[in-house]
Amino acid sequence: MQPDWRNYKALLFDMDGTLVDSEGNTEIAVREYLVARNLDPDQIEDYQLFHGRTWQNIELLLNQRFAELQGADLQRPLQQRFHELFLSPALPYIAGAPEFLRQASRYCQIAIVTSSNRESAEYLVTRMQLESEIALVMGAEDFSRSKPDPECYLSAARQLDTRPAECMVFEDSQAGLQSALAAGTARTAVGRPAQAFADLNRLADFHIIDFLGL
């Protein structure tokens, strides 16, 4: 069933994996960082653990996994490498994302709420030529607690002068959907087959593969 997005005052979008196919860049940045320090990146069994989380939170997770990284400044080099990869003009959008944002902005307020740094989100907005359509851009600098904490979506709703129940969140990660659920918003899972990702769909009201046809 497709989301009834026109019934909401605001649509809040995660970025990586939701609007643009960039989640793989997180794994690349982390793997390169570990290899450069003679650590085995394959000790991390599932890089999806990092999806939807801030670099500060990823640093904590890496510190828990690798004692050798205790006290190291991970956030800055990881974020810088991610942003370098993010600037690639070949980085693909999730199908139909720019067009849907443009269309939906005629009916609802639009916000991007990402665990990546704001500079990446602002670059994406400029690349999509949607500066006038996006009402709010929030990055990791704008909230103190990473998804799955609801802080980011509660803050976005407040800044848009809407109640959480009047917002629909579009997310691709478990942490992101947990954040939206805790905030009390409607939730649409993006980009993964419903049959294969039962956990994500239990957290979501709707599921879409991409934005084509919405």
Lowest mean pLDDT among 33-37, 53-57, 83-87, 134-138: 53-57
Whose CA is closest to 58, among 35, 36, 33? Answer: 33
58 in a structural domain: yes
List the alpha helices (DSSP H) in 37-111. 55-65, 75-86, 97-104
214 in a structural domain: no
Are the C-beta atoms of residues 60 and 149 closer than 8 Å to each other?
no
- pTM exceeding 0.75: yes
Whether residues 40 and 137 fall in one domain: no
**Mean pLDDT (the chain, rounded):** 92
pLDDT at residue 135 greater than cutoff 60: yes
Average pLDDT over residues 139-147: 93
Sole residue written with tokens 């049959």: 195
Whether residues 125 and 184 fall in one domain: yes
Cα–chain-centroid distance for residue 20? 9
Whether residues 194 and 112 fall in one domain: yes
Please report the pLDDT score of residue 73 as a whole number.
86
101 in a structural domain: yes
Integer Cα distance of 69 and 72 in angstroms: 5
Whether residues 74 and 170 fall in one domain: no
Whose CA is closest to 171, among 159, 186, 149, 156? Answer: 186
Two tokens, residue 168: 């629909």
- The H or E element that residue 122 is part of is helix 118-127
Q: In this prediction, what percent of the chain has a pLDDT beyond 70?
A: 96
Are the C-beta atoms of residues 135 and 160 closer than 8 Å to each other?
yes
**Measured on CA atoms in the order 44, 175, 197, 75, is the torsion positive or negative?**
negative
Please report the pLDDT score of residue 197 as a whole number.
61
Whether residues 157 and 63 fall in one domain: no
Please report the pLDDT score of residue 195 as a whole number.
47
